[in-house]
Structure 1
């Protein structure tokens, strides 16, 4: 029987396993791994033993709008519902913080195909938001909360 994923907030990336997940976040528009250390970003890790199984980050964009800044699942844990659990956590947290909208940017390359789970959680396609600009390598999605 699989134990439930334990999601912990750390506000900033500090543990070695978290640093390796953070380092996997490389995207020209997002600002890369160092952008996750911004004060407007809260970083969570999902643990199913050690090292962490995945991570997710939420960024304050304005009083009514938050962005998903990073979602990663360790390759050995893919297909186990880690991303869905982390996404549900982000949606619940954004709702608790009284945001009215939650948006994200993801890539169009095959590597990002699993990220299409966002549609199953109520996200639809939208125009670039926040500091993002149109990019043929990016897809933008949003949902009302």
Structure 2
């Protein structure tokens, strides 16, 4: 498996994002899905990484939107058939290293309470629970976490 920084505007990556959207909309009402579209993911302040199998197939993706105050983890997804192989951990660790190199000192994220695998991953990687940040409302369908990179 390889992790590399790529553009979100590729057919196989768009397919990953569409799978993620379908999954999120199956779990949460539309007003509780805070997803970025492909156009937003191609902005200069977005770090976007893709996990690929040795044959080049896209297995997963994740992004960090870098702001002056912090980086926000977005669009974290690994296809079900590829889970349990370390792709999510490697995606996030790769993004964290790059964000740190670009001067980011903290990461934040919003996820859902009905996603125990995601919550467990973030906890294992040192993310701590916190209250809402940015423009997010305090909502029972959102879980907020943060990690210092310094």
- Report TM bin, short chain: 0.7 to 0.9
Structure 1: gaps of 5 or more residues: none
Instruction: Provide the TM-score with structure 1 as the length reference.
Output: 0.84
Q: CA deviation at 1:39?
A: 4.1
Change in CA separation of 1:134 and 1:84 when aligned onto 2, cut-off 3 Å: same
The corresponding residue for 2:90 is: 85
Distance 2:14 2:132 in 1: 28
1:136 pairs with one of 117, 136, 140: 140
Report deviation, 1:58.
Answer: 0.7
Which residues of structure 2 form unaligned runs of 5+?
Answer: 25-31
User: Mean Cα displacement is larger for which, 130-139 or 79-88?
Assistant: 130-139
Q: 1:51-96 deviations in whole A, cap 9, x for unaligned? A: 211101010122x410101210011101111101111111111111
SS in 2 for 1:24: helix
Report if the CA contact (8 A) 1:22-1:36 is conserved: no
Number of residues of Structure 1 aligned to a counterpart in Structure 2? 137
Aligned to 1:124: 128
Rounded to whole Å, the distance in 2 between the matches of 1:32 and 1:88 is 21
1:60 aligns with 2:66: yes
Q: Distance in 2 between matches of 1:142 and 1:105?
A: 9
Q: Partner residue of 2:27?
A: none
Cα distance in 2, alignment partners of residues 67 and 96 from structure 1: 15
SS in 1 for 2:137: coil
Q: TM-score of the superposition, structure 2-length normalised?
A: 0.82
More helix per residue: 1 or 2?
Answer: 2
**Over the residues paired in the alignment, what is the CA RMSD in angstroms?**
1.8
Q: Distance in 1 between matches of 2:147 and 2:100?
A: 11
Kept in 1, the 8 Å contact 2:9–2:42? The answer is no
